[in-house]
């Protein structure tokens, strides 16, 4: 999974990027994109490690992309934004950071603090960008459909979907609202439209409001979370054992990093299953509703091809019984077939034969 951190200039994007990834973009550098990979926090893994004492432990990963802020107030800034669109489109989820903090030494974007306005502007810009691609493609399809070609039928289907997309975008609705089926989605997947991706709004607030939930999730956003990027960045400087108390002082229970990753996972309908053994304990990312055979394929294509069954135990059952052997003795280890819908936290042992 890859998340793009975008938003107006000086809203705290790079500060948040640093808080989440512990990677400080070089100050004084020309604005440019930065990417970093972080482990998805998973409190179940240390328990499995204790049980198995594996040679290797692997967490699921998320990539974060820090995109330089651009002012959407002028043509120059909007042209800059277009420059970053390909990498934004290359991500799976958009994290839009807006400023809600007071800081007299940081100039205010458009001389005001207006989170809802900033989020709406950003959304509108993404709508325009997608509409641009849709319109160009529709014009091309119209021309091509006048000639009999081998791909005629396919193109006609694509055109129907894109026309619906254009209608949605013209009404300022995200393109995702025009996608009715997996087949629709497949037809336009190659465009990787920005407004087809789930968006998470981050309100970068002052520390005294970091624990106040955002009352109204703005339209077209999957969720909205408050956080104080400045404080969250400062905890990177602290010894691990002092971090919880530092955040506790501002009423925050879970670091921004964990909260943000969890929210992105949720927005994308993702979850994790686990594998364990003496060699490796590992978490794997899959979409909710994934079948056992596809989960097996995530580990290795051979495991899907030669799938026999998935020995499955839930994390809770494993903890309750103490270890795999006693879980088995207690009848808590199930033998699941190809079409079993994997649950979050399931520990799978794939039996296969190739």
Burial 121-151 (b: 16+ CB within 10 A, else e): bbbebbbbbbbebbeebbeebeeeeeeeeee
Q: Which is nearer to Mg ion, 14 or 290 (CB)?
A: 14
Distances, alpha carbon 278 to alpha carbons 42, 48, 186, 282, 331, in Å: 19, 10, 40, 11, 23
Q: Among 14, 220, 263, 290, which residue sits at the site for Mg ion (rule: CB under 5 A)?
A: 14
Q: How far is CA 155 from the centre of its chain?
A: 31
| Residue 32 near ligand GDP by CB under 6 A | no
What string of DSSP letters covers 186-235?
Answer: HHHGGG--GGGS-EEEEEEE-GGGTTSPPSSPPTT-SEEEEE-HHHHHHG
Q: Give the position of tokens 């304990």.
A: 281
Q: How far is the CB of 105 from Mg ion (least distance, A)?
A: 16
Cα 279 to Cα 137: distance, rounded to the nearest angstrom: 50
| C-alpha to C-alpha distance for 183 and 262, rounded to whole angstroms | 28
Q: Which residue has the tokens 């699921």?
A: 60
Which of residues 205 and 327 has its CB atom nearest to ligand GDP in the complex? 205
Answer yes or no whether residue 220 interacts with ligand GDP by CB under 6 A.
no
Smaller CB distance to Mg ion: residue 66 or 121?
66
Output 14 or 321, the one with its CB closest to ligand GDP: 14
Least distance between ligand GDP and beta carbon 228 (Å): 5
106 binds, among Mg ion, ligand GDP, none (CB under 5 to 8 A by kind): ligand GDP
15: contact with Mg ion by CB under 5 A: no
Pick out residues in 79-138 that bind ligand GDP (CB under 6 A).
101, 103, 106
Q: Does 11 participate in binding ligand GDP (rule CB under 6 A)?
A: yes
- Taking the least distance from each CB to Mg ion, the nearer of 35 and 141 is 35
Residue number, 69 or 345, with CB nearest to ligand GDP: 69
Q: Could you say which of Mg ion, ligand GDP, none residue 198 binds, taking C-beta under 5 to 8 angstroms by partner kind?
A: none
- Number of residue whose CB is nearest Mg ion: 14
**228 is an interface residue for ligand GDP by CB under 6 A:** yes
Residues 6+ apart with CB under 8 A from 14: 25, 34, 66
β-bridge pairing 307-314 and 334-336: antiparallel
Looking up tokens 């000639």 gives 147
- Provide the binding-site residues for Mg ion, judged by CB under 5 A: 13-14
List of residues contacting ligand GDP (CB under 6 A):
9-15, 69, 101, 103, 106, 204, 228-230
């Amino acid at each position: 999974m890859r998340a793009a951190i975008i938003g107006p200039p000086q809203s705290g994007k790079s500060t948040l990027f640093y808080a989440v990834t512990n990677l400080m973009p070089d100050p004084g550098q020309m604005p440019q994109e930065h990417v970093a990979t972080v482990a998805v926090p998973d409190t179940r893994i240390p328990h499995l490690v204790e049980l198995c004492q594996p040679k290797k432990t692997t967490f699921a990963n998320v990539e974060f992309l820090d995109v330089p802020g651009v002012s959407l107030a002028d043509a120059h800034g909007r042209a800059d934004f277009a420059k970053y669109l390909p990498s934004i489109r290359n991500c799976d989820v958009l994290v839009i950071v807006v400023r809600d903090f007071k800081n007299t030494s940081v100039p205010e974007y458009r001389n005001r603090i207006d989170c809802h306005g900033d989020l709406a502007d950003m959304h509108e810009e993404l709508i325009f960008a997608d509409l641009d691609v849709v319109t160009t493609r529709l014009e091309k399809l119209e021309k091509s459909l006048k000639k009999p070609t081998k791909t005629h039928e396919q193109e006609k289907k694509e055109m129907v979907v894109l026309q619906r997309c254009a209608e949605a975008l013209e009404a300022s609705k995200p393109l995702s609202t025009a996608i009715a089926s997996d087949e629709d989605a497949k037809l336009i997947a190659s465009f990787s439209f920005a407004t087809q991706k789930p968006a998470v709004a981050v309100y970068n607030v002052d520390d005294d409001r970091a624990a106040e939930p955002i009352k109204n999730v703005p339209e077209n956003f999957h969720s909205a979370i408050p956080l104080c990027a400045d404080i969250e960045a400062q905890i990177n400087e602290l010894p691990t054992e002092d971090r919880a108390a530092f955040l506790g002082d501002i009423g925050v229970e879970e670091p921004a990093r964990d909260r943000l990753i969890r929210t992105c996972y949720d927005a994308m309908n993702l979850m994790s299953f686990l594998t364990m053994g003496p060699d490796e304990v590992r978490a794997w990312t899959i979409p909710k509703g994934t079948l056992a055979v596809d989960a097996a394929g995530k580990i290795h294509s051979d495991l899907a091809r030669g799938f026999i069954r998935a020995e499955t135990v839930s994390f809770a059952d494993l903890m309750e019984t103490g270890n795999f052997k006693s879980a088995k003795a207690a009848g808590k280890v199930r033998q699941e077939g190809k079409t079993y819908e994997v649950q979050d936290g399931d520990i799978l042992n794939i039996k296969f034969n190739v």
